[in-house]
Amino acid sequence: MSKFIATLAIIVLIICACKVRQPITTPVSVPPAIADNPIGNRSSHTPKNIIFLIGDGMGLTQITLGMMENNNYTSLERYPVIGLHKPTASNKLITDSAAAATAFACGIKTYNGAIGVGPDSMAVKTILEMAEDKSMATGLVATSTIIHATPASFAAHNKYRKNYEEIAADMIDADVDVLIGGGKKYFERRESDNQNLLTALEEKNYYVSDFRENINDLSIDTSKNIAYFTADTDPLQAMMGRDYLLPATKFTLDYLKKKSGDNGFFTMIEGSQIDWGGHANEHDYVVSEYLDFDPVINYAYEWAKADGETLVVITADHETGGLAIQPESTPDSLVTAFTSTYHTGTMIPVFAFGPGSEVFSGIYENTAIFDKMVGVLGME
């Protein structure tokens, strides 16, 4: 009998070894929308508003590290529903922020570098544009430039993420109600043409302002759209004094609630630079950016709880840096290591709270986040 078990064990081992050695010839296969997810995309609880929070590069280790550096607490603990998404692109196993944000915004797998376009470079409608079509109010807030891959993929369509001036021109046509982020120069002092897109924004009924006006002084005048530029190019690191994400979030949620009336709103708010800390392999950069984002996670929860009709969804596009918390770490001295200066392929946690949140439980493709948001809003 034991001989039989030993033989069986060897056979199993051989089978496993063969499986491991199989090369991944087609790295990305996209299953039918919900075939592998029994929970589906529909809920009997329909939210009126969606707050979608993205921590760029915020993998599970970034969350864990931020938590450990914050007396072992993260505001994500308040979120009752947790899932995981598979962060792959159409042409690469390891996604970039553009393909990942396009997956969230449009529900399609596309190639790295794509902004709101499919593998054929053709524009695909985004959830923000669908919300605009339904007369919902919309907002985009980032701690990068506003034309950077993550926010851009919700309101622009371009074959390549670094065509910043083209993306800026495209974004002013999207009629997003609130735009808050850096990158003023791509609108104002352009190299590819002589247009001043700040003037164009004003002609499209935007109140245009920038970092010279204290963000806490912005008035909630919903007769105008808002474009507030936090920097000429990239905003500062949080460690260098950038502190607008929480006040920008407070302003945006109150503005959108007031403006949307009965129609509801969709807003994406990004902690953009957790990713940049990962690329730089800098422990303190990652932690400080995470801790800049955490109060937004907390505020969104409080705001949605008080509102009662708002779904909050929080995730990342991918992990950055292959971050590890090393075995020599102690509670007082966390030792970290990085395996890469780029993104890695680990699955990414998703947190949700509010009406419809239960559909975010489970494991699914990154594109399913679009399917689920659109599904619970009943927008298909």
> Is residue 88 involved in binding Mg ion (CB under 5 A)?
no
Known catalytic residue at 97:
yes
In angstroms, how far is the first alpha carbon of the chain from the final one?
A: 59
Taking the complex as a whole, how short is the minimal distance between the CB of residue 293 and Mg ion, in angstroms? 12
> Is residue 150 involved in binding Mg ion (CB under 5 A)?
yes
Taking the C-alpha atoms of residue 356 and residue 339, their distance in angstroms, rounded to an integer, is 37
235, 144 in Cβ contact below 8 A? yes
> Is residue 102 involved in binding Mg ion (CB under 5 A)?
no
> Is residue 56 involved in binding Mg ion (CB under 5 A)?
yes
Q: Pick the closer one to Zn ion by CB: 95 or 367.
A: 95
Binding mask 264-303 for Mg ion (x = CB under 5 A): --------x-------------------------------
Contacts of 270 (CB under 8 A, 6+ apart): 53, 54, 55, 56, 141, 142, 143, 144, 150, 151
Catalytic annotation, pick one of 43, 75, 90, 97: 97
Q: Dihedrals φ, ψ of 235, to 5°?
A: -60, 155
Taking the complex as a whole, how short is the minimal distance between the CB of residue 318 and Zn ion, in angstroms? 7
Q: Pick the closer one to Mg ion by CB: 289 or 371.
A: 289
Where does residue 13 rank: exposed (0-12), middle (13-18), buried (19+ CB within 10 A)?
Answer: exposed
* Residue 140: strand, helix, or coil: strand
* Tokens 């303190």 -> residue: 284
Out of Mg ion, Zn ion, none, what residue 150 binds, judged by CB under 5 to 8 A for its kind, is Mg ion
Q: Pick the closer one to Zn ion by CB: 49 or 61.
A: 61
The per-residue DSSP string of 190-202 comes to: -SS----HHHHHH
Binding mask 213-252 for Mg ion (x = CB under 5 A): ----------------------------------------
Chain residues that interact with Mg ion, rule: CB under 5 A: 56, 97, 150, 272
